[in-house]
Structure 1
Amino acid sequence: MPTIVVDVMPKAELLDPQGKAVTGALSRLGVDAFSSVRIGKRFELTVEGEVDDQVLEAARKVADEILSNSVIEDVISVEVVA
């Protein structure tokens, strides 16, 4: 069965307290290769049957209207994976 993956991230201009905490933890653990971390959400929508343009458009609409909060988040991607 195909899966549609939706990635949602906090808007770039907003603070990401979880990401900041992880960045600090990495630094304390001696991992200095990363200057910052941002934490988002990933949704996996399993589809019965094939994914056509209509199903993909429905997934985009759900991502914009239900899975994300447009005030503080951006839908980064909506894609079909195996």
Structure 2
Amino acid sequence: MALTKDDFHEFRQMRQLDSDNLNKFMGFVQDSAEYISIWRYCSRGSLQDVIARGNMTIDAFFVYSLLKDICAVSCDSFQTTYSNSK
């Protein structure tokens, strides 16, 4: 898989994002046929880890935001798949 200029532009944009609510994207490495993304270490673990531990208080706004993000990704994925099949 060859990366395009648009891909590298998106990596630069991701690198510039800086928020306490986001895990910082540090960079991207291509090691022969393997692609590796590097992110800042998150001591709390992944979202999956936090939910699996079950000791997190989840309020209604968090649930709403999480579901909204999941739906947005699903819609984008569907639209990309649908537009590529035309």
**Structure 2 length as normaliser, TM-score?**
0.24
Structure number with the higher helix fraction is 2
Structure number with the higher strand fraction is 1
Q: Which has the higher contact order (CA 8 A, sep 6+)?
A: 1
